[in-house]
Chain A
């Protein structure tokens, strides 16, 4: 079991540690999941997400401007997004697809000028790195070799919530001009950080990457500001569920296409049928057939689900229509601390996917009513 550089800090704050993707991670601290969740929505939560992978991608030659274009084009052969128009200092949500159009991971791709960084899910990081090396290493579409590295000496912290920007301002960084999905390199508490204005909670906030050796110092500097409290994976999960965001492995998998997952927006117009650089990524024929302007039927769609009672309806619960036919399955579910009720997400056959559709979930052999609901459940509060 691996540990992140913040392990001592976790113990100091009474963390309940659980195994997650090969790491010993904090599920919650002494305040508990509900308090950490609500604190993040009102002030700011600090999450250790150092288990996630950071893949550094750069060109072997030093010709910076040309390199950026070459790296972007190479990555476009694996990611259905318009990366050529991603300017330096911005990041983009990126799907990695397989030959069947399934999603093998979802990630953030950052353009840092002379290099790109792909921030990937912990459980997928080695597989993603192998995938990149297999397709982009050696002889590739790029006219010069790419140098890729999966960092084992980097940490990642997420500072999330409406007070996040004020805290960074107190640390000397007025980021009023830094919009949602902007990326900037800056020094925080004497450490070189790559800071992105993004997160996984639906709130305004930042994700800060730094050398592992600096992580505890940066975390303590952030925690010295009263609005900031540590929050664990439990709150991270309930926050992202309320925000309608997918958890890789639950809500999207190698068997889910972007159209089924409601992630067509991650397939850029330039890469769709009729676009300037249409297709050219794994599974493109399947993905493009299902994505506008095309409209090939899909077997299922991701929807929000609001249980009628108070019982949480969790992942794996079958979804039934009025005649008790199986029409789908819950992929994430739990209790929503900000709403004070249970909520879920899942896949249903398209004829049952309209907002307002009444279904039942089978939980412990009982049929519980659920209503198809628009996502997100809690409105996002991004700094646009």
Chain B
């Protein structure tokens, strides 16, 4: 199972013919307690590096930039009533949306787990 990361603290993981997107543990930790998640519309287009979702904590709003371009295939409806799932399980139950990727090769330019760990190590 390949998981890739962006420098903006999103993760993306291949699942079947779709890609699942979320924010990293570091990102949720920085934001604090999440109280609202704004998800993209199913069927809508998202562009790599452009805002696709918003994760709001008690204190601030954080934009989620899509790690890949494509069409939104599914969103995590559970976050509407339980946005805290993003805090509790950011890389699991707190996933945000799934995309049908336009060009999966966009993944190649993203960070692997080790590179991402190196990125956040000095920030922690």
Contact = CB atoms under 8 A, between A and B. Distances in A.
B44 to A, nearest CB: 14
A227 interface: no
Given A311-B38, A312-B61, A364-B38, A32 B33 contact: yes
Contacts, number: 39
A16 B54 CA distance: 22
A234 B58 CA distance: 8
Given A311-B36, A342-B36, A234 B59 contact: yes
B56 interface: yes
Number of contact residues on A: which range applies?
10 to 19
Contacts of A364: 38, 54
A334 to B, nearest CB: 6
B46 to A, nearest CB: 15
Contact of A312 (B32, B56, B80): B56
B36 A335 contact: yes
Nearest to B29: A16
A237 B60 CA distance: 12
Given A27-B59, A34-B58, A238-B58, A335 B35 contact: yes
A310 interface: yes
B51 to A, nearest CB: 8
B32 A28 contact: yes
A238 B32 CA distance: 14
Nearest to A309: B36
Nearest to B81: A310
A334 B60 CA distance: 8
Interface string B28-48: 000011011010000000000
A154 interface: no
A interface, over-half SS: mixed
B interface, over-half SS: strand
B59 A310 contact: no
A33 B59 contact: yes
Contact of B32 (A33, A310, A314, A342): A33
A337 to B, nearest CB: 7
Contacts of B38: 311, 364
A312 B80 CA distance: 13
A50 to B, nearest CB: 21
Nearest to B80: A310
Interface in A10-54: 16, 27-28, 32-34
B59 A334 contact: yes
Given A27-B59, A364-B54, A312 B33 contact: no
Nearest to B54: A364
A337 B84 CA distance: 13
B33 A34 contact: yes
Which of B33, B54, B61 has most A Cβ within 10 Å?
B33
A92 to B, nearest CB: 32
Nearest to A337: B58
Contacts of B80: 310
Contacts of A237: 59
A16 B59 CA distance: 13
Which of A16, A32, A310 has most B Cβ within 10 Å?
A310
Contacts of A337: 58
A334 B58 contact: yes
Contacts of B54: 364
B41 to A, nearest CB: 12
Interface in A306-363: 310-312, 314, 334-335, 337, 342
Contacts of B32: 16, 27-28, 32-33, 234
B38 to A, nearest CB: 6
A64 B92 CA distance: 69
Which of B33, B35, B38, B61 has most A Cβ within 10 Å?
B35
A337 B59 CA distance: 11
13 contacts: A16-B32, A27-B59, A33-B33, A234-B32, A234-B59, A238-B58, A311-B36, A312-B35, A312-B56, A334-B58, A335-B35, A337-B58, A342-B35
**Shortest 10 CB-CB distances between A and B: which pairs?**
A335-B35, A33-B58, A34-B33, A335-B58, A32-B33, A310-B36, A311-B36, A234-B59, A312-B56, A312-B36
